[in-house]
A = this chain, B = another copy of it.
Amino acid sequence: MEDRKQAILRAVVHEFTTNAVPVGSQALQSRYFVNLSSATIRSELAELSDLGYLTQPHTSAGRMPTDSGYRYFVDFLMDLEPIPDRIKGFIADELRTAPADVQGMVERVAMTVAAVTQNASVASAPQGSMARIKHLDLVSLEPKEVLLILLLEGNLLRQQVIPTTEPATQTQLTRLTARLNASLGGRASDEARRHYDAAPLGLEKELLGRVIAVLDIYEKGSESLVVHDGVRNLLRHPEFAESSRVTQVLEVLEETRYLTILLRQLIGESDLQIVIGSENMTSQLQGCAVVLTTYGPSERLKGVLGVIGPTRMAYSQTVARLQAVARGASDRMAEVGV
């Protein structure tokens, strides 16, 4: 595409994302292209419309980008907006004072993203592909009930109450704990599986089975923690003035199963993914754009962090700030060992 057309497309996207009003040839001429006449701009606009990048709400209105227009913008025209110092400071403060547990950290991260992007945010807890057991603990609750506490790599804590077929005293459990820690500590689920196969029937095998089940859930991420925040920010945007639009987004956000589908999109993709309007799988997100990236304390422990807003979103700002929070959160999580 010619440079001038690109410049005009960029200008339309910029104007429309800030003012939310279809932008006309005169506005472009006076604010961006003083050397061109509005008539020239008009004919360029008409061509951009033919190309499918722009559209008009009605024949005598200004232009606004189509989904493809936004797509072209983010693929070819966008450059990351520098982050103001106060925003940088805000992000640092929020992450520094975040609780040092997974749940608290993920919530804080989601809150921060929502605040700095002025949109809704989603975050899933970092998940390892293959979990290593760092420590294991067994506590007797009732004669025939044991609490299993699993500390995984990355200091993720998993717990589960296990009913056992035979009663077990705390002394027995303590002995078993020591033995299991010695054999499983630092090992991954395949090792636990080997021990399980080798173990004789009885309490130990029973408990090992549960350990494997917990690891499975962890690895498959089916029971993963997914939080959202900042829906109130969406309501400030005119596209959500009538509440039916909000309903649809809320359906996606409040239904964890939708969210996991949404977040799963990122798997195997590059570290930044932008899904615009009709590109979304779920019809509820028509008119919305989703920006996703990953974060986590280590290479092997990654969660997804994302922004949901109207397609008319300040993409360059959103991407820059989202990535800043993701980097900050990753560092912080590595530091406190969440």
Contact = CB atoms under 8 A, between A and B. Distances in A.
A79 interface: no
Given A137-B137, A235-B246, A247-B235, A160 B101 contact: yes
Count of identical protomers in the assembly:
2
Contact of A160 (B100, B103, B134): B100
Contacts of A243: 235, 240-243, 246
A338 B147 CA distance: 11
Given A145-B337, A236-B247, A254-B230, A100 B161 contact: yes
Contacts of A338: 161
A129 B160 CA distance: 24
Contact of A149 (B157, B240, B251, B337): B157
Contacts of A161: 100, 155, 336-338
Contacts of A250: 231-232, 235
Nearest to A107: B256
A19 to B, nearest CB: 19
Nearest to A163: B336
Nearest to A145: B337
A231 B254 contact: yes
A272 interface: no
B246 A141 contact: no
Interface residues of A, number: 40
A153 B39 CA distance: 76
A135 B149 CA distance: 11
A188 interface: no
A141 B235 CA distance: 44
Contacts of A101: 159-160
A139 interface: yes
A137 B149 contact: yes
B232 A247 contact: yes
Contacts of A147: 135, 151, 155, 337
A50 interface: no
A64 B134 CA distance: 62
Interface of A: 99-101, 103-104, 134-135, 137, 139, 141, 145, 147, 149, 151, 155, 157, 159-161, 223, 225, 229-232, 235-236, 240-244, 246-247, 250-251, 254, 336-338
**In the complex, the 3 A-B pairs of residues with the closest C-beta atoms, listed nearest first:** A232-B250, A235-B247, A135-B139
Given A141-B155, A161-B336, 8 more contacts: A101-B160, A103-B103, A134-B139, A147-B337, A149-B157, A157-B157, A157-B159, A230-B254
